[in-house]
Amino acid sequence: MKKRALQISLNDNIAVALDRFLAGEKVELYNIEDQFINKLTATEEIKYLHKIAVRKIPINEAIIKYGEVVGYSCKDIGAGELVHTRNMASKPQQD
Amino acid sequence: MKLYGFVRNDDKVGFRNKVLLLPAVDCVNDITYKIAQSFDDVSTFRFSTGCGMLPEDVEQIMHTQVNVAANPNIAAIVIVGMGCESIDLEALYERIKLLNKPCSLVKLHSEGGYNNFIDKVKRLTNTYAEDISKARREIVPISSINLGLECGASDPASGISANVALGKAVDLIIEMGGTAIFSETPEAIGTEKILAKRCSDKNVADKIVNIITGYERMIKTKTGRDVRSANPVPGNIKAGITTLEEKAMGCILKGGSSKIQEVLDYAELPSKKGLIFMNTPGFDAYSLCGLIAGGTQIIVFTTGKGTPCGTPISPVIKVISNTIAYNQQKDITDYNAGMLIDGVKNLEQITDELMQLIIDTANGTKTKAEILGVNVMDIWPLYGTF
């Protein structure tokens, strides 16, 4: 069966894993209307309901979920990486 | 989708038809419970304070009691008190009489003993129960729905299934001229800027920001703690939620995408239709009571883990976010939105089924909490009793 992730809003840069993914596994991206959007590869383990970057997110860029800013990247994040406490925070990094 | 309700004297529409035994203080709660249980369609609720209270709380209790009595699911009211409680019973009675519903006041201290008091409450309840059963449902428009929105025992799936589907259903009800009230101020901390953008004008936006930031300050004053440091809780982080903003967004999704037309203080009646925000605590008993005072005749409660919550006045439809929890909590859960995550049904199907469930419940189908007789509701005191 296809393993899916949900990109809730069109301009979200993360998707929510609807399955557990291992490094190297294919992720089928769907929107909330259940339409196929794209494919990408998980570059590390992504647990069920955790966030996966759907494109490159440079440091201090807004993390968008539900079409709204829910935090900022505190490291450069590659497409297919896990987005969580290690590389995301409420506020941008101060120089 | 035909909707049938009880049209009241003030043209408001009820979807249940009940006598309310309104407790004026906790000391009479035991007897209102026992009497309510011995009749059909007679409701009461746990009012855990009512004595030794400051003037701010006396007013909070009074306006909440009046507005709970005004809920269109209530057809007649017996106010049950001692005669020595913090609120002025005669003043409460005068305010409730203005609702133009059958209403009586019974005071223990005026009835010559406990048994006489109980007999009088029972006789009045019996008469009202006979009278109100003559009311008949008639066809009413969808715009007469005032839907309460609540969540509790949430998980990360709530924000991608149950709350998304409920948001879509709320959008439909509001498009058809209805009203929906969402609440639980502490759960909205972190989303004040997002909510402000979604308000109908600047006054509404300022009020929502003031209420949310005021609530955050109140927690800081009372406890010396920063609420943001406590949230998301470790369980949320383990489940995949990273920031407070992310958690709060998942929660406010249940209000859908309409503009917020009005921001209410606790237990106030809305003066507008459409999407409304009410200032309430996150604690379900207080929040549900506020929603009922706000005139909501039906409440949809989204949950991740499952909750038994119901109220004695407005039916509470429980929508769970994931199939694993649904299979464990079927006897307290009315709908499984987890089918969306499983890919079994799409968002349109889930939204349609949820709308149908709201209409069926309005028309009289009992919720799981009604069948089980679960009664979770209390008035939020600002300071409590001393």
Helix axes B55-70, B284-293, angle to 10 degrees: 60
A36 in any annotated domain: yes
Whether residues B346 and A84 touch (CB distance < 8 A) is answered with no
Residues of A with Cβ-Cβ distance to B190 under 8 angstroms: 90
DSSP string, A22-63: -TT-EEEEE-TTS-EEEEEE-SS-B-TT-EEESS-B-TTPEE
Which residues of B, range 174-193, sit inside 8 Å of A by Cβ? 190
Q: How far is B155 from chain A (nearest CA, A)?
A: 10
Instruction: Spell out, as residue ranges, where chain B has pLDDT lower than 70.
Output: none
pLDDT category, A66, cuts 50, 70, 90?
very high
Domain ranges across chain B: 18-132, 142-372
pLDDT at A1 exceeding the cut of 70 = no
Range of the domain at A73: 4-89
Residue A45 covered by a domain = yes
Closest CA to B195 of B253, B115, B150: B253
Question: By the CB < 8 Å criterion, does A10 face chain B?
Answer: no
* Chain A contact for B230 (CB, 8 A cutoff): no
**B227 reaches A (C-beta below 8 A):** no
Smallest Cβ distance to A18: which of B159, B250, B341?
Answer: B341
On whether residue A24 sits in a domain, the answer given is yes
pLDDT at B230: 75
A16 with B156: Cβ contact below 8 A: yes
Contacts of B308 (CB under 8 A, 6+ apart): B332, B369, B372, B374, B376
Cβ–Cβ < 8 Å for B362, B351: no
Q: Which two tokens stand for residue B168?
A: 């879509």
Alpha-carbon dihedral sign for residues B273, B277, B281, B283 = positive
Confidence (pLDDT) at B140? 98
Domain total of chain A = 1
Tell me the Cα Rg of chain A.
12
Look up the CATH number of the domain holding residue A40.
Answer: 2.30.130.110
DSSP conformational letter for B365: P
Q: Which chain A residue's Cα is nearest to B248?
A: A70
Nearest-CA residue of chain A relative to B253? Answer: A66
Encoded tokens for B93: 């009675």
Q: What pLDDT score does B366 carry?
A: 98
| Pairwise CA distance, residues B327 & B329, whole Å | 6
In this prediction, residue A95 has a pLDDT band, given cuts at 50, 70 and 90, of low
Q: Which of B177, B168, B182 is nearest to B145 (CA)?
A: B177
| DSSP symbols for B58-121 | HHHHHHHHHHHHHSTTEEEEEEEE-SSSSS-HHHHHHHHHTT-S-EEEEEGGGTTSHHHHHHHH
Please report the residues numbered 25 through 84 in chain A whose beta carbons come closer than 8 angstroms to any beta carbon of chain B. Answer: 32-34, 47-51, 63, 65-66, 68-71, 83-84
Instruction: For residue B237, give the 3-state DSSP assignment.
Output: helix
Interface test with B, best of A10, A49, A63, A85 (most B CBs within 10 A): A49
List chain B residues with CB under 8 Å of A88. 242-243
- Closest to A6 (Cβ–Cβ): which among B155, B160, B239? B160
| Gap between the Cα atoms of B268 and A51, Å rounded | 39
**Any idea what the Cα angle at residue A44 is, between residues A41 and A48, rounded to 5°?**
85
* Alpha-carbon span B370 to B372, nearest angstrom: 5
Digit-coded pLDDT (tens) for B98-153: 999 999 999 999 999 999 999 999 999 999 999 999 999 999 999 999 999 998 87
Per the domain annotation, does A94 fall within a domain?
no
Nearest to A51 among B190, B240, B346 (CB): B240
Residue A95 included in any domain:
no
pLDDT value, residue B153: 78
The predicted pLDDT at position B59 comes to: 96
CB within 8 Å: B243 and A71 = yes
Q: Do A88 and B242 touch (CB under 8 A)?
A: yes
Candidates B156, B240, B253; nearest CB to A66: B253
| CATH number assigned to the domain with residue range B18-132, chosen from the 4 options 1.25.40, 1.10.3470, 3.40.50, 2.70.98 | 3.40.50
ipTM: 0.96
Contact assignment for B346 to A33 by CB distance below 8 Å: yes
Residue for token digits 């249980």?
B37
pLDDT recorded at residue B20:
98
Residue of B nearest to A65 (CA): B246
What is the rounded distance in angstroms from the CA atom of residue A64 to the CA atom of residue A11?
Answer: 7
